[in-house]
Structure 1
Amino acid sequence: MHGTTPESAGGAPPARRTKTRRVPFWDNARFACIVLVVLGHAVQRLTYDSKIALALYVAVYAFHMPAFAIISGYFSKSSPPTKRQMARVITDILVPYVVFEALWTLTKWLVEGRADPNLTQPSWTLWFLLALGIFRLVLPYLALLRWPLAWALLISLAVGYLPNVDSTFSLSRTLGLLFFFTFGWWLREHRIVERLGLLGRRPWWVGAIAAVVLAAAGWIAWAGLELWEAIDLRHWLFYEDAYADLAGEQWWAGGVRLVLMAIALILSAAFFALVPRRGLWWTAFGRYTMYVYLLHSFVLYPFRESGVLRGLDPTWFWLPAVVVASVLIALGLASKPVRTVLRPLIEPRPRWLIGDAALAGSGGHRNDPTGSRRPRDTPRR
């Protein structure tokens, strides 16, 4: 599925190599998800002055990170990790996390004149790197249980009742989204996508229903803005705060999260139903979502902090402009020039850190933490 070739078990190369077909849908879905991530962060400052921007923000946050977690889980393995897979957690997740935390500390010190270096509190978007690492560590244990999906759901609901589980190492948000990651793995484990033929030709009415569902979500987000602001819905959608901080000591708070999770699944399904199945000119960009994820916050930071996104009028012009800019930012950050220059930061190969240098990703195919496996852009000798 990911353009890989089987490796020889012995010293001699195999007599015949076969190349599996890469499925464009997953790259399309990854790129569409990362565009939503950029859009959600880009539109955030507009929400203070524009009701329609706030409605868009709520609609996007209702499902975009759950959808991203589902994709990541779909390409994760529940078998005990090999040495190479364990090394990749270090090289692909922990090392970039430390590097970008250092960069954010330096940026805040230069721009704001203050810095609070603390690896236990992820800066802005870096929480998802830690989440992916924790997901990978937890999944093999969940898979051993009789009902892994049910246990994951229970954990995601129960963690909100524990105020001592907070944003340290992004644990509260990670466990809050654990169900979606496990659900993605469960889909692959039980071959649900193949059995239902979900990647084949879809009837026109499937796309029509999906479009209606997403449009309805947008309308509800707009029509109920006063209520969503009153209950602080945006913080519920972060899956980060304890219920005590959102709804007081109400025993039914877990039910609210359960409803939001069900909505996230429905909207994610509608979103995936609209993702193109065939290869398009932008499909290849879906292989490099981690570049976009780690870098887009630095692009948006000056605009968010300078206040230029506040008070923009008319909204009918500036909101579409921000949407278009979000797409262009995602395309630009996934482009080959950016990857060539910044690969050492995003895809480090710290041979000095790993005891066995061969495990540090010295060559061959690379995975990004979301599960996209791809060939090298340029051959190495």
Structure 2
Amino acid sequence: MSTAAPASPRRRVPIWDNARAACILLVVLGHAIQRLTYDSDIALGLYFLIYAFHMPAFAIISGYFSKSDPPNRRQMTRVLTDIVLPYVIFEALWTATKFLVEGQANPNITQPSWTLWFLLALAIFRLVLPYLSLLRWPLAWTVVISLTVGYLPNVDSTLSLSRTLGLLPFFTLGWWLSHHKILERRNILHRRRVSVRVAAAAVFVVAGFCAWFFVDELEAMNLRQWLFYDENYASIGGTEWWAGGVRLLLMVVALVLSVAFVALIPRGQYRWTSIGTYTMYIYLLHSFVLYPFRESGVLRGLEPTWLFLPLVLVLSVVVTVALASPLVRRVFRPLVEPRPGWLFADPSLTRRDDRRSDPTGSRRPQGGPKPPKATDATPSA
């Protein structure tokens, strides 16, 4: 009589944490250089390049690690504790900050402050995914939804609905790739040919050159508003019937750049890989760090660009690394990862365990200061 060998645990593919770390750095950098774009065409071109794909890429990654099955009680609880409660907490903090600094505030939980829109988007993504998965062509339907809402002036930034529906195809694409195991079957996550890396780098070189060379034309067409997926077409100059085609083109560009981005991401485990497991700390806290720089005007009129743009890049890297540090996580954990057992009928649903997942899908242990070198890669809600 023989016994079967225990199944070996699935090991985490480091590329996903590396991709999250790179994405969150782009988020910080995009916000850091925003004031520079008023005085520098190079900074504005870089801004266009970053915003063309970084949030769609984040949505794809989040979708890849999301389940379409009806959520169980613990998963439903985590949507509340990992997404909804941090949104409420940080919305209150932003209201207090604006009141103290600017002397005025307009408390309105239905209008997300600055970066908080993505938390609401994640919550809505998780809510609609089980229904989308029932459809025969979920990707096609979400593209139709994204293009259609741009024609509807009543779909706006209230509860982040316009951005959420605009980016829904990317989240659905991530889920679809995971659900059908497209990347695993083609061994894309482990194998990376030199020719693919060269082609991906060429894509970014061409995109970056176009963003810089045509910067005046892109600014004239109000491209930054188009890239936010936040306004209806007519309000940003798209009054023609074919305005939805502009969004469709931008979605194609975002997809191409996202693919090239993933192709360039290192596949190995590095010291900075762990940053990708704590993206929510960086996402929620970096705006408070950058707020004084943005509002004081210190980032306006900085010349020469070749000196100050790299300095802002270095600042962005420092902020990203610092906000993922154990000390910052320990101090701000009650705000970023609240676990109010008193709020729930079954407090045990809020207990911390080693299976906790970041809202973007990154599994990591809750207690230790460092994530494991190899962890479960199973998609989680």
What's 1:256 paired with?
246
Asked if the contact 2:354–2:364 (Cα under 8 Å) also holds between the matched residues in 1, the reply is: no
Match of 1:226 in 2: 216
- The question of whether the paired residues in 2 share the 8 Å contact of 1:166 and 1:240 is answered with yes
Which residue of 2 is the match for residue 244 of structure 1? 234
CA 1:208–1:16: 2 relative to 1, 3 Å: closer
- Which residue is 2:112 aligned to? 122
Q: TM-score, normalised on structure 2?
A: 0.94
| 1:364 CA displacement | 3.4
Partner of 1:370: 360
* In 2, Cα distance between equivalents of 1:246 and 1:314: 32
- 1:161 maps to a residue whose letter is Y
Structure 1 residue 322 and structure 2 residue 312: aligned? yes
Q: Which residue of 2 aligns with 1:343?
A: 333
Question: Partner of 1:352 in structure 2?
Answer: 342
Q: TM-score, normalised by structure 1?
A: 0.94
1: CA distance between counterparts of 2:226 and 2:120?
20
Q: Does 1:217 align with 2:207?
A: yes
What residue is the counterpart of 1:39 in the other structure?
29
Structure 2 counterpart of 1:269, from 259, 270, 277: 259
Question: Is the Cα contact below 8 Å between 2:352 and 2:366 reproduced in 1?
Answer: no
Distance of 1:58 and 1:248 partners within structure 2: 18
Question: Which residue number in structure 2 is paired with residue 90 of structure 1?
Answer: 80
Who is 1:286 aligned against? 276
Match of 1:73 among 63, 66, 77: 63
State the number of aligned residues: 365
Q: Give the 5 Å matches for 1:129-144.
A: 129-144=119-134
Gaps of 5+ in 1: 1-14
Please give the alpha-carbon distance, in whole angstroms, between the structure 2 residues aligned to 1:71 and 1:361: 26
Offset at 1:201?
2.6
Inter-partner Cα distance in structure 2 for 1:145 and 1:361? 35
Measured in 2, the distance between the counterparts of 1:155 and 1:172 equals 10
Identity, % of aligned positions: 67
User: 1:189/1:321 Cα in 2 relative to 1: closer, same or farther (>3 Å)?
Assistant: same
Q: C-alpha separation between the residues in 1 aligned to 2:367 and 2:315?
A: 26
Residue 88 of structure 1 contacts residue 361 of structure 1 at CA under 8 Å; is this kept in 2?
no
Question: What is the root-mean-square deviation in Å for CA atoms of aligned residues?
Answer: 1.3
Is 1:49 aligned with 2:39?
Answer: yes
2 CA distance for matches of 1:309 and 1:73?
A: 35
Given the superposition, is the C-alpha separation of residues 309 and 344 from structure 1 closer, same or farther in structure 2, using an over 3 Å criterion? same
What secondary structure does 1:144 align onto? coil
Give 1:247 deviation, angstroms.
Answer: 2.8
Runs of 4+ in 1 over 6 A off after TM superposition: none
State the secondary structure of the residue aligned to 1:366: coil
Give the Cα–Cα distance (whole angstroms) in 1 for the partners of residues 156 and 316 of structure 2.
30
Shift of 1:18: 5.1
1:377 counterpart SS class: coil
Match of 1:12 in 2: none
- CA shift at 1:281, angstroms? 1.1
CA displacement 1:297-320 (0-9 Å, x = unmatched)? 000000000000000111100001
The answer as to whether partners of 1:67 and 1:268 remain within 8 angstroms in 2 is yes
Cross-structure match for 1:306: 296
Equivalent position of 2:137 in the other structure: 147
CA distance in 1, matches of 2:329, 2:238: 46
Q: Deviations over 1:266-316 (max 9, x none)?
A: 000001000000101101111000000000000000000000000011110
Is the CA contact 1:25–1:276 (under 8 Å) kept in the aligned structure 2? yes
Match of 1:6 in 2: none
Contact 2:17 2:277 in 1 (8 A): yes
1:39 maps to amino acid: L
Give the Cα separation in 1 of the matches to 2:19 and 2:368: 25
* Conserved? CA contact 2:353–2:365, under 8 Å: no
Q: Residue in 1 aligned with 2:98?
A: 108
Give the deviation of 1:250 after TM superposition: 1.1
C-alpha distance after superposition, 1:211-261 (max 9, x if no partner): 010011000000111110111001000011001112343110000000000
Q: 1:337 to 1:16 in 2, by over 3 A?
A: farther
Output the CA distance in 2 between the equivalents of 1:234 and 1:136: 27
DSSP-derived class of the 2:255 partner: helix
Q: Secondary structure at the match of 1:374?
A: coil
Instruction: Give the counterpart letter for 2:263 in structure 1.
Output: A
Contact 2:65 2:361 in 1 (8 A): yes
- Structure 1 match to 2:377: none
For residues 245 and 286 of structure 1, the distance between their equivalents in structure 2, rounded to whole angstroms, comes to 36
Task: Give the secondary structure class of the aligned counterpart of 1:373.
Answer: coil
